[in-house]
Amino acid sequence: MAAPSVFLLMVSGQIESAEFPEFDDIYCKYCFSYGLDWAITSGLDESITQITKKSRDQYQRFVWNFPIDATFKSTSPSGWPQLVVYAYGLDAFGTDVVRGYGVCHIPITPGRHRLRIPMFVPESSSLLQKLTAWFLGRRPEYVNPRVVAQGEGREVTRVRTQGFLSVSFNVIMKDMKKLGYDILPSDVQNPTIPAGVAGTEKPAQAS
């Protein structure tokens, strides 16, 4: 049987809830950002949630409960997919303004993971700009939201963290071990010693 050349990563999860203490009426968009070795084989690359108001109790939570389902294939873990979430809300004049960008890597170990990611917005450079932005409803935002998934060019941006988003992921992988990748620590009590390592005999040839 030919050795596999790609491995698969399947993510199913949800954008659960968020906390934005000062705002109301928020919806989210999400998209995946991944490297050149990766391709999405099934599921949506981007989507939009519903608009929700915060709860009228002391927790003041926004709940979307929005499903995320995607399967990726790749030849190499470089460029591991990241989930980029951007939250929009309505301001006092009824226009859509951005309330936060958040990014996190899809977890690299299989299983269930729950993450709380900070949501930040770019800040205006001066007080005058802040005032005109508030009046006109045109707050600073990123032209391409995927820029928050990259490390380059961030050193000149000033941002303000405004809230947190809770996301949960269930991760399954296929064929990572067959390609030689280890994502869990080795078990020293029951070691798996591959063929050809010095000191072990060759395994019987498959017929």
Partner 1 sequence: MKQCFNLISQLVKMAEVHVIGQIVGASGFPDHSLFCKWGIHSGGGWKILSGLREGQTQVDNPQSQDAAYFAHPIDIHFATKGIQGWPRMHFQVWHQDAFGRNELYGYGFVHLPTSPGQHEIDCPTWRPTGTFMESVSQFFLGGGPHLKNPDLIYSGADRYKLQTIAMGKIHLRIGIILRNFDKFGIEC
| Residue closer to partner 1, measured from CB, 42 or 78 | 78
Whichever of 80 and 88 has its CB closer to partner 1, that residue is 80
Smaller CB distance to partner 1: residue 94 or 191?
A: 191
| CA atoms of 53 and 64, how far apart (whole Å) | 10
Compare residues 65 and 150 and give the one whose CB is closer to partner 1.
150
What is the closest distance, in whole angstroms, from the C-beta atom of residue 91 to partner 1 in the complex? Answer: 15
CB-CB contact of 70 with 40 (8 Å) = yes
Q: Which residues bind partner 1 (CB under 8 A)?
A: 21-22, 35-37, 75-80, 82, 102-105, 107-109, 113, 117-118, 120, 123, 148-152, 154-155, 157-162, 179-186, 188, 191-194, 196-198
- The SS3 of residue 109 is coil
Which distant-in-sequence residues (6+ apart) come within 8 Å of 80 by Cβ? 34, 35, 38, 105, 106, 108
Query: Helix or strand or coil: residue 23?
Result: coil
Give the nearest distance from C-beta 18 to partner 1 in angstroms: 14
Rounded alpha-carbon distances, angstroms, from residue 147 to 96, 99, 103, 141, 150: 20, 16, 10, 11, 5
Closest separation between CB of residue 104 and partner 1, Å?
A: 7
Minimal distance in Å, beta carbon 46 to partner 1?
18
Q: Phi first, then psi: give them for residue 121, nearest 5 degrees.
A: -120, 150
CB of 59 to partner 1, least distance (A): 15
Choose between 58 and 192: whose C-beta lies nearer to partner 1: 192
